[in-house]
Chains A and B, each alone.
Chain A
C-alpha cells in the first residue's frame, strides 16, 4: 500500500468515525442511535485494519478482528436487546435541543483540533494528524452523556467516549499490545452489561428510563 492510499483510506475511515458520532446527536430514535453506534464500530475497525495493513502486523490485524466483533456486533447487540425490552423509544427532550447540540458538536470539534496540536507536533505523521478526530468523538460522547436523558442514549454516550479513546490509542501509538486491548475491551463489555442490567431494572421499577426522574430521594 502506498503512502497516499494509506492516508486516504485512513482519513476516510476517520471521517466516517466522526460522522457517526455527530449523527448520534442528530437522530432522535433510540433504534437509529444504536445502528449509528454499530456503524461507528465498523469505522473504528476500518481505522485499525488500515493501520494493520500499513504496518503489516498480524497482531494488529487480530486486534482489528476483535474490535469488529466487540464494537460492531456484540455491544450494539446488547444495547439493542435492552432497547427491545424497553419498547421503541425516542430521545424526547434532551437538555440541549438538537440544533444547538449540533452546533455544540461543531465547537467541540474545533476545540479538539486546537487542543491536539501539541500532540501532533510531537510526531507528525498521517496517523497522528487524525488524532483530533478521536478527541472530538470523546468530547461528543461526553456531551451526549451530559445532555441526554434516556438511560440508553447515555449508555451510547459512554460507549462513544470509549470508542474515541481507543481510536486515539491506535492513532498515536504504533499499536496497542493485544493484552492491553483485551483488558480494555473486557472492561467495556462488563460496563455495558452492568448498565444494561441497570436500565432493565430501572424500567421494571419506574416504568421508564428518564434519568431526570431519579434526582430526588424518596421514602417508599
Chain B
C-alpha cells in the first residue's frame, strides 16, 4: 500500500509542479504589479502565453547546431526528473534513493549549462554575453547549493534528501540551530541567483546591460521558447519547494494514506506560494546589483554555507 501511494505521490509531485509553476510566476507578477500600483496581468497569463507560443511555428536561427535544438528538451527533462525524485509531497516515493543531494544539484546544473551552451551556440553577442555571465554566477552558486545542503546532511548522516526531510520532521528543534539558520540564508541567496531574480538578474527586462537569463534565450521562438519559459518557471518552483521542505518540512506525506497526500498538496502550495510572495515583495524594494558586485554577494553566501558546515562539525 505504501508503495502505491508513494508512486502516486511521485506522479502527483510532477503534475502539481508542472501545472502550478506558471501560476506561481503569474501570481508573483500580479503581486509586483499591485505593489507598483499597476493592475497587472491575470494570474493565468503565463499559461495563456505558453499556449500561444506552443501553437506557433518552430523556428531556429541559421547556423545553430543540435545543441540549440536539444537544449529546451534537456532543460525540461532535467527539471521534471528533479520534480519527480525530490521530496516535495511525499518522502515515501519509490524514486527516493535517487534523490541524493549531489544528483539533484547536478541535474539542476545540467539544465543551466545546457542553456548557457545554447546561448553560445547562437553565435550572437547577446547569447555569448549572457552565457558568460551565467557561468560566472553558476561557478559560485553551485558550490553554495552543495555545501549548504551538505551542512544539513551532516547531522543526519545521509546525503539523501528524503532522509534529511524525515529527520527534520522527527527533530523540529534542529531548525533553530545555527547550522540550519546559516544554511537557510546561504541557500536562499543561492536560489535567488540561480533562478535569475532580483538583485542578481532582472526577470522582466530586455535591457542589454542588465540581463542574464533573457540574453541566453533571446534567439528562441515558438514552442522552443514555450519549453524554456515553462522549464524556468518549474525550476523556480522546484528551488522554492526544496528551500521550504528542507527547512520546514511539516505537512509532507510520510506514509500511506490519500488524506496525507491531499494535505501535502495544499501545504506545499501554501509554502511555495508564501515564499514566492515574499520574493516578489522583496523584489519591489530592491534594485539590481551591479554585475561586478554579484560575485561579492555570492562569495558571502558561499561563506555562510561553509560556516554552516563548519558549525555542524564543531557545534554538534
Q: In B289-306, which residues have CB < 8 Å from any A CB?
A: 295-296, 299-300, 302-304, 306
Majority SS at the chain B contact face: helix
Query: What string of 1s and 0s marks CB contacts (under 8 Å) between A82-108 and chain B?
Result: 000000000000000111101101100
Indicate if the CB atoms of B182 and A129 lie closer than 8 Å: no
> In the bound complex, how far is the Cα of B277 from the Cα of A16, in angstroms?
27
> In the bound complex, do residue B310 and residue A109 qualify as a contact, i.e. CB atoms below 8 Å apart?
yes
Query: Could you tell me if A12 and B178 are in contact, using CB atoms closer than 8 angstroms?
Result: yes
Bound-state CA distance A14–B176 (Å) is 13
A105 surroundings in chain B (CB, below 8 A)? 303
Tell which of A18-26, A61-69, A71-79, A211-219 binds the partner. A18-26
- Bound Cα distance from A102 to B304, whole angstroms: 9
Hey, which chain A residues are within 8 Å of B310, CB to CB?
Answer: 109-110, 113, 132
* Complex CA distance for A99 and B302, rounded to whole angstroms: 10
CA distance A18 to B304 in the complex (A): 10
Contacts of A8 in B (CB 8 A): 173, 176-177
Contacts of B304 in A (CB 8 A): 19, 22
- Does B306 lie within 8 Å of A109, measured CB to CB? yes
Q: Are A113 and B178 in contact (CB under 8 A)?
A: no
B285 close to A (CB within 8 Å): no
B176 touches A15 (CB 8 A): no
Candidate in A22, A103, A106 with the most chain B CB atoms within 10 angstroms:
A106
Are A102 and B299 in contact, CB atoms less than 8 angstroms apart? Answer: yes
Task: Please give me the residue from chain A that is nearest to B180 by CB atom.
Answer: A15
**Residues of A with C-beta under 8 A to B173:** 4, 8
Q: Which of B295, B299, B300, B315 contacts A11 (CB 8 A)?
A: B315
Bound-state Cα–Cα, A105 to B299, Å = 11
Given A26-B300, A98-B296, A105-B303, A12 and B177 contact (CB-CB distance below 8 Å): yes
**Which residue in A19, A102, A110, A120 is a CB contact (below 8 Å) of B182?**
A19
In the assembled complex, A130 has its CB within 8 A of some CB on chain B: yes
Are B299 and A14 within 8 A (Cβ)?
Answer: no
Pairwise interchain contact B303-A102, C-beta atoms closer than 8 A: yes
How far, in Å, is A83 (CB) from chain B's closest CB?
Answer: 23
User: B314–A106 contact, CB under 8 A?
Assistant: no
Cβ B314 vs Cβ A113 within 8 A: yes
In the complex, whether B106 has a CB less than 8 A from a CB of chain A is: no
Indicate if the CB atoms of A113 and B177 lie closer than 8 Å: no
| Chain B interfacial positions (CB closer than 8 Å to A) | 173, 176-179, 181-182, 295-296, 299-300, 302-304, 306-307, 310-311, 313-315
Query: 6 closest pairs, A vs B, by CB?
Result: A15-B178, A99-B299, A11-B315, A102-B299, A106-B306, A102-B303
Instruction: List the interface of chain A (C-beta within 8 A of B).
Output: 4, 8, 11-12, 14-16, 18-19, 22, 26, 97-100, 102-103, 105-106, 109-110, 113, 120, 129-130, 132-133
Give me 12 other A-B pairs in contact (C-beta within 8 A), A15-B179, A102-B300, A106-B302 excluded.
A8-B177, A11-B315, A12-B176, A12-B181, A15-B182, A15-B315, A26-B296, A99-B295, A99-B299, A129-B315, A130-B314, A133-B314
20 sampled A-B residue pairs with Cβ under 8 A: A8-B173, A8-B177, A11-B178, A11-B311, A12-B178, A14-B178, A15-B178, A15-B182, A19-B182, A19-B307, A22-B307, A26-B300, A98-B296, A99-B299, A102-B302, A109-B307, A110-B306, A113-B310, A130-B314, A133-B315
